Structure 1
Amino acid sequence: MSKLQNDINSLSVWCTSNKLSLNISKCVVMSFSRSHKPHPPVYWLNGQKLQVVTTIKDLGVTVDNELNFANHINDISLRAHRVLGLIIRSGRDFRDPYTLIRLFDALVKPILVYCNIVWAPSSDQLVNRLESTQRKFCKYLSWFLNSVAAEMSTDDVYNYFKINSLSCGRQACDLLFFYKLVNGIVISPEILAQFSLICPRAGLRHGRLLEIKKTTKNYVWNGPRSRIARLVNEHSSTLNFFGGSYNQFTKNVKDQLYNHR
């Protein structure tokens, strides 16, 4: 606690020396703990006590003190539903359903996929919460199919309009991120060091590519590193992560994950 407070004091002195003012109302304290009743320490900045919070938005992502990102997923789902409602109200006179699909892809989907490598859901409840927006949109699209709409399920509408689930898109993002990381397109030695390659063993035709570290902590097992490592191992026998062009790798990923192209 004292070390962090000293760091805060040093930051305050540096800002003062460089004539940089701090907005203390936007500076908060959040503690990560498995305790149901954590007792976060008290920190001060420029003589003011910093507010203790359980959630905070950083670069558009709502982070909570349990690192399950349920708050973020609920927030973006509500935002996406509101934008979808605007599209439906504004597009009532449209006759081409593919115009609505383009609007959905341009205005709604970015809300649901932004930075999903960080917060990708691990529970079925949160996955369905995200998917509900797209399923609601597909239900609206079914009205363009007239008499056959009553006999079609949401999955049938997906197939008819060649729409892929959001889950497939998140998996594609994970695989593409790992490819960019190991091929130097994304330069981050700190993140790259989190992944440990496994040396292939003689006699094994297909083996795992990355080591999966055992853990009893859900936030570690469901976090980006473990999730991406499991996904890379799942596709290591069919995808070449260390060669070829990025465009070709992207095509290969989509061919494997997407139901529709």
Structure 2
Amino acid sequence: MYADDLKIYNICSNYEVLTKDIATIYNWSLKWLLPINADKCNILYLGSDNPKQTYYINGTELTKCVSLSDMGVIVTSTLTWSEHITKVVKKANKILYLLGKTFAKADVNTVTKLYKTYVRPILEYANCVWVPTLQRDINLLESVQRRATRIPYGQVRPSYPDRLNLMKLPSLADRRVRGDMLTTFQAFTNISSPIRHLFPVNIDGRTRGHRFKLEKDNFRTSIRQTFVTNRVFTEWNALPPEVVESASVPRFKVNYDTFRNRR
């Protein structure tokens, strides 16, 4: 619950359960003089077999939608991320355009710092939640970094891989893998982590490698395959104990980067 935003999510076989929950929230809002504007409320249905029941607040039918923004991330009814990626790329390109105009004569070090401070965070916000699965989306995200690395070189410039090396920048795809590893590490090391239960440990696999090896999840859909606990499975289980059992987040980053650079 937020100052001006309220969301209800429920998995139920009987839509009456969610109907009662909505009524309970509405009555609560009246009691505390925090009225809910039904005209601004939306329903987002997830799942291909969703019955898509109609819901009401005080007699007003709630508007059905196929996508909505939740904490800055666009969630769609198909749980695909092309719409969100298009939005963040557009936003990042606007910032990059201003930086290019303002710092057209800046050196490599300055442009790198500007990009890492003002542009890259836009492309990576909450990326443990969303991940590009289509090659066109992967290329679209990487195109922003390609454009950023051109700024200090003008018309005559090295190739993109060489520019990354000169500016000490990994590809965004590699950054996403690193972010997933960091999310997994934090889930295991933070006792109060709200996502710890999403990472089941494979008890049978403890005799080899590190002691936090993940259990394989049996998935039947491509959407489930790209869920964070499934997409980190191979990379996380292959990490050596000295990386997984790092004493802190900063130490994990150093150990992971060292391990990746050796590969």
TM over 0.5: yes
How big is the alpha-carbon RMSD for the aligned residues of Structure 1 and Structure 2? 2.4
CA 1:231–1:14 in 2, change beyond 3 Å: closer, same or farther? same
Task: Tell me by how many angstroms 1:134 deviates.
Answer: 0.2
So what's the TM-score if we normalise by structure 2? 0.85
Matched, 1:18 2:35: no
Q: 1:251 is matched with which residue: 241, 251, 254?
A: 254
Question: Where does 1:45-194 land on structure 2 (aligned, <5 Å)?
Answer: 45-92=57-104, 94-143=105-154, 149=157, 152-184=158-190, 187-188=193-194, 191-194=195-198
Equivalent-residue separation in structure 2 for 1:207 and 1:182 (angstroms)? 11
TM-superposed deviation, 1:97:
2.8
In structure 2, list runs of 5 or more residues that go unmatched. 1-14
Identity %: 24
- Assess, with a 3 A threshold, how the Cα gap between structure 1 residues 21 and 100 changes in structure 2: closer, same or farther: same
Q: Indicate yes or no: 2:209 matched with 1:228.
A: no
Query: 5+ residue gaps in structure 1?
Result: none
The alpha-carbon distance between structure 1 residues 178 and 81, as it changes in their structure 2 partners (threshold 3 A), is same
Q: 1:40 aligns with which of 26, 49, 52?
A: 52
Question: Aligned partners of 2:216 and 2:186: how far apart in 1?
Answer: 20
Structure 1 residue aligned with 2:8: none
2:14 paired with 1:3: no
3-state DSSP of counterpart to 1:67: coil
SS state at 1:117 partner = coil
Q: Is the 8 A contact 2:210 2:244 kept in 1?
A: no
SS at match of 1:118: coil
Higher relative contact order (CA 8 A, sep 6+): 1
1:135–1:154: 8 Å Cα contact kept in structure 2? yes
Rounded Cα–Cα distance in structure 1 between residues aligned with 2:108 and 2:53:
55
Call closer, same or farther: CA 1:168–1:132 in 2, change over 3 Å: same
Q: Secondary structure at the match of 2:247?
A: coil
Change over 3 Å in CA distance of 1:156–1:4 after alignment to 2: same
Contact 2:74 2:81 in 1 (8 A): yes
- Offset of residue 226 of structure 1: 1.1
Instruction: Output the TM-score relative to the length of structure 1.
Output: 0.85
Deviations 1:146-186 (A, max 9, x none): 75x2xx21111111221111122211211112111111265
Contact 1:168-1:257 at 8 Å conserved across structures: no
Pair 181,208 (structure 1): closer, same or farther in 2 beyond 3 Å: closer
Give distance in 2, aligned partners of 1:199 and 1:192. 16
